[in-house]
A and B are shown apart, each in its own frame.
Chain A
Amino acid sequence: MLGHTLRSTWRVLMRRKFFTVVSLFGVALTLVVLVVAAALFDHSFGPHPPEVHADRSLGIFGARLSGEGWTTTGGAGGRLLETCARALPGAEITSFYSAQDQEVTYRGGERVSLWVKRTDGAFWRALRFRFLEGGPFTDADDAAANAVAVVNDATRMRLFGDGPGVGKTLRLDGRTFTIVGVVEDVPFLRNVPFSDVWLPARTARSDAESRKLVGDMKALIVARSREDLPGIREEYRRRLAAVDLATVDAPAGARFDRLESEAETFLEKAASDLFGRNPHRAPLLVAFLSVLAVAFMALPALNLVNLALSRILERSSEIGVRKAFGATRGRLVLQFVAENLVLSLAGGAVGLVLAAGVLAAVNRSGLIPYAQLGVNARVFLYGLLASCVFGVLSGALPALRMSRLHPVEALRGGPR
């Protein structure tokens, strides 16, 4: 049956080459946009190095302190993290790091602006960076506030050209740091690991952060297993509720009575912007993006419906014959949808090749710093899925309509 359908499909598509090319072009173009979107999504949320434990990781990305007439929102403060996020049961690695800040250094009188992140030794265990030279700084370096730094490869190139980076120095924030490691560039879209330079947290000039509930810090918690994630969230919530807000410095006349913060997955964090604190925000985001993708496919699919309809209309006599010889409506629908699916998969293949080209161009353009967009197995599967949805979307309607044709009417040449 499959061989018969494929042979028939091949002949049908080859008979009207212009229609086929137009259809392929429509599918391929739509797929290019979808695959690029999927690649961006995968680039941001997929389990790529250095976030190899993304599926069992939680982040504490912010906090909100509120009371009568006052609300303070920002990252998590050092005090909040030390009190509530340290050594949570079920956590294998817990790392605290600052939001990256732009800081300036000078190279031969030239101003060089760099993204700087401050963190601890655990950061390098929670994330698996690829070291090109040297190695990470340690918890001991952090505890002693040693002036050491890890830089990415792009920064090494900018500051030192083709030579090695380890052992060289870098002046930032009024201090001179010795480079102990050089890592492969991490794309800008991967917010947790991204930076140009990583410094020990305690090298910061001020320790004010350690007294804050709302500040500029974030936490990355790698659980022992996915099953530990709910327990970690629950314990964090419990500890949060136990924080004594009476001891918090509040502006004159104000009193804070509510502290909100959450341990969430990377996808939940992205979904928070759209769906707030809704407990189902991650699946909601995936559903929203899926609906968006289907809606985006609907318009070109409608065009393809028309093309498919005219292609099938030409074959009304074939429908009549097949019905006369025992084809049921279901079998005919399957046949025509399968034909469209073949067309969509062929368009999808062209689309994937074109998308790979577009992604390579985006990588080269520097539009997204250090972007490493590409068509990997996951993106390929997204593309395949989109092609199938597209094929079914554009094939089902004409197939359903034509399968309803009365056999005698079909033998006479179709609906009049």
Chain B
Amino acid sequence: MIRLENVEKVYRTDRIETIALSNVSLDVAEGEFVSIMGPSGSGKSTLLHVMGLLDAPTKGSVTLNGRKVGSYSDAALAKVRNAELGFVFQTFHLVPDLSVLDNVEVPLLYRGTGAKERRKRAEAALERVGLSARTRHFPSQLSGGQQQRVAIARAIVGAPRILLADEPTGNLDSAMGDEILALIEDLNTRERCTVVMVTHDERQAAKTHRTVRLFDGRPVS
């Protein structure tokens, strides 16, 4: 489903060269639930960004569903992200000026779905995460846990085959974090959605199929 081969990511400024990822090779199979762990600065988020086609590797290749995406244009990458990937971020990244329903509709806007269909699917996604009573609210009127549920609804509204979650419970208390993780687990088991999740929490990592550990940008066993 996702294959990374000898991926290297180097950030260069005028004076400093920072190696974020070094020689990372990784296969994620369809339906798998993989967690990525490691200390701060070990390259976890960078790895997730590379897998999510938000960042390009300096060296190496990324293959998504059998297609090497290294030569894809920005527009082509946007299309792949829209159709096949869903993102959940630690800080939710909901658009504050949009209602809950409008936030969830965002991915569908970019695939030309009609307004009625968008609404129907967004309402279904919100129902899936247990927030159908809050469609007209704005993000600032919701708790952290509710905001993350909206973010998950947004991530799954387009029925992506892969969900990439960057510390989705990092900003939540443990009870709320467990609820969110249960929701993600449910998506993985019931809907066969492949999940890659960055986490600092060993307890949560233990619930995934396997854990990839990073240290200084390299996988360690």
Residues of chain A at the chain B interface (Cβ within 8 Å): 1, 3-4, 7-8, 11-12, 15, 315, 317-318, 320-331, 406-408, 411
Contact = CB atoms under 8 A, between A and B. Distances in A.
A408 B49 contact: yes
Interface string B62-98: 0000000000001100110111000101010111111
Specify which of B78, B96, B111, B115 lies most central, judged by the most chain A CB atoms within 10 Å of its CB: B78
Nearest to B107: A325
Contact of B78 (A318, A327, A411): A327
A329 B97 contact: no
A408 B77 CA distance: 14
Contacts of B142: none
A323 B115 CA distance: 20
B10 interface: no
B93 A325 contact: no
Contact of B98 (A1, A11, A323, A324): A11
B126 to A, nearest CB: 16
Contacts of A322: 95, 106, 110
A7 B98 contact: yes
B95 to A, nearest CB: 5
B149 interface: no
Nearest to B98: A8
Given A3-B115, A408-B55, A411-B89, A325 B82 contact: yes
B182 interface: no
Nearest to A318: B95
A317 B93 contact: yes
B74 A326 contact: no
A15 B140 CA distance: 13
Given A3-B115, A322-B106, A408-B49, A12 B97 contact: yes
B79 A326 contact: yes
24 contacts: A1-B109, A3-B115, A4-B105, A12-B97, A15-B97, A315-B95, A321-B106, A322-B106, A322-B110, A323-B54, A324-B81, A325-B81, A325-B82, A325-B107, A326-B78, A326-B79, A326-B81, A326-B82, A326-B111, A327-B78, A327-B110, A328-B110, A329-B74, A408-B54
B145 interface: no
Contacts of B107: 325-326
Q: Is the interface of A mostly helix, strand, loop or mixed?
A: helix
Nearest to A404: B74
A4 B107 CA distance: 12
Interface string B113-144: 00100000000000000000000000000000
B93 A320 contact: yes
B54 A324 contact: yes
Nearest to B112: A1
B1 to A, nearest CB: 19
A15 B89 CA distance: 24
Nearest to B154: A325
Contacts of B79: 326
A321 B95 contact: yes
Contacts of B98: 4, 7-8, 11
B20 to A, nearest CB: 11
A407 B55 CA distance: 8
Nearest to B80: A326
A321 B93 contact: yes
Contacts of A318: 93, 95, 97
B32 interface: no
A330 B83 CA distance: 18
Contacts of A329: 74-75
Interface string B137-173: 0000000000000000010001000000000000000
Nearest to A322: B106
Contacts of B97: 8, 11-12, 15, 318
Contacts of B217: none
Nearest to A413: B91
B139 to A, nearest CB: 11
A6 to B, nearest CB: 11
Given A322-B95, A323-B54, A326-B107, 10 more contacts: A4-B109, A7-B98, A15-B96, A321-B87, A321-B93, A324-B54, A325-B110, A325-B154, A327-B110, A411-B93
Contact of A328 (B55, B75, B91): B75
B57 interface: no
A112 B81 CA distance: 81
A325 B106 contact: yes
B185 interface: no
B87 A325 contact: yes
Nearest to B50: A408
Contacts of B38: none
Interface string B99-110: 100100111011
A211 B81 CA distance: 85
Contacts of B219: none
B52 interface: yes
Given A326-B111, A407-B54, A408-B54, A8 B95 contact: yes
A326 B54 CA distance: 10
A123 to B, nearest CB: 60
A15 B75 CA distance: 31
A414 to B, nearest CB: 13
Nearest to A14: B97
